[in-house]
Amino acid sequence: MADKRDYYEVLGVSRDVPADELKKAYRKLAVKYHPDKNPDDKTAEAKFKEVGEAYDVLSDEQKRAAYDRYGHAAFAGGMGGPGAGGGGGFHDPFDIFREVFSGGGGGIFEQFFGGGGGGGGRRRDGPQRGSDLRYGMEITLEEAAHGMEREIEYERSASCKTCSGSGSASGGGGKKTCRTCGGVGQVISSRGFFQIQQTCPDCSGSGEVISDPCRNCHGTGRSKERTKVRVKVPAGIEDGSRLRSTGNGDLGVKNGPAGDLYIAIQIKPHEIFEREGNDLHCDIPLSFGVAALGGEITVPTMEGKASVKVPSGTQNGTTFRLRSKGMKILGEDRHGDLYVHVQIAVPTKLNAEQREKLEDFAKSLGEQTSPMEESFFEKAKKFFR
């Protein structure tokens, strides 16, 4: 998987690209690299397969969520990635091209030659699902540890209030048959020896146009509005996770079902703790006296404070493990651990009395060495032999 390019990079889109723009980018590249247009071009054939594989993953809601979180590793070891059985993905790269020109049904000949006899085509006047939306939410490590609720505000397409979603200024009575396609929703144009059947540009495949379009939505039946949604973030959530708010995306065309709203979670860096999975790490300064003589120190945790017993002779870098003082494990009634790393604080300013006592102490030690020093000198002896 190391040689695989990022799927978003392959399709030339951003990571928050909506479904319709993703499809446009895919179609453009599929046509560009199709083997029929690039005969005997192995590079184009490879790119054609790469584009198809990328679109197979990113066009599938569940696969895309897994890829956003784990990258190519999400499909390692037969986890249902591109071409995996039962996943509804494309198995044959040439089927991808048939999909490009069919719009999800039929084949390439149906588009180029009218298909189905008579060139009548299909009317796509039914409801269509709305686009999914993405919202970025930044939270603190404390909020991730304990969970929280927050109201967010964003803009989405909703039913036009002026025309009640009809698209007509008169409330739905202004529809008439499209003159361009004669009501069939498709138009046929000749290009040399070919006849190409396409969706009617004037009615977008519905076969009807509105004679008195609403001034607010321009006949679409949808308009932008500010919407507020309350989002519940579960305790233990990880950085980069996505939450789905069903039905809070854009309203579909012709009152089709709304898409979903995806909330992308980003956790702010913490001043004290560093997170590693469900465990937390922190560095704690320890005075020279306590390190040498032993004692008890107070350390911060996500639940408050905790006491740690420090044995005499504690060395710099020693780690103490506090069980179940880390992050809550998502969906479970358990916690990770907290690792406290000791950093011995050496005084930088000494008065005359302190310096004298410290010098006397150093003299009293004589040639005495610590276990750390003994280990180092043994290694050094081997190095200089």
Q: Residues comprising the binding site for Zn(2+)? A: 160, 163, 178, 181, 200, 203, 214, 217
Tokens 């009548």 found at: 120
Question: How far apart (Å, rounded) are the C-alpha atoms in residues 146 and 322?
Answer: 18
For strands 175-177 and 279-287, give the pairing: unpaired
- Give the CA diameter of the chain: 107
Task: Characterise 346 by phi-psi region: left (phi > 0), alpha (psi -120 to 50), beta (else).
Answer: beta
Q: Phi and psi of 123, rounded to 5°?
A: -95, 125
- Give the span between the Cα atoms of 156 and 271, in whole angstroms: 36
CB-based contacts of 354-362 (< 8 A; 24+ apart in sequence): none
Answer whether 320's CB lies under 8 Å from 342's CB. yes
Residue 46 has which token pair?
């490879």
DSSP state of 213: B
**Binding-site residue positions:** 160, 163, 178, 181, 200, 203, 214, 217
Work out the number of other CB atoms within 10 angstroms of the CB of residue 313.
Answer: 12
65's CB contacts (< 8 A; 6+ apart) are 242
Find out whether 121 and 201 touch, Cβ atoms under 8 Å.
no
Query: Hey, which bits of the chain come out as E strands?
Result: 133-139, 148-159, 175-177, 186-191, 194-199, 208-210, 222-233, 242-245, 261-267, 274-276, 279-287, 295-301, 304-310, 319-322, 338-345
Contact 229, 248 (CB under 8 A): yes
**What is the Cα–Cα distance from 259 to 179, expressed in whole angstroms?**
32
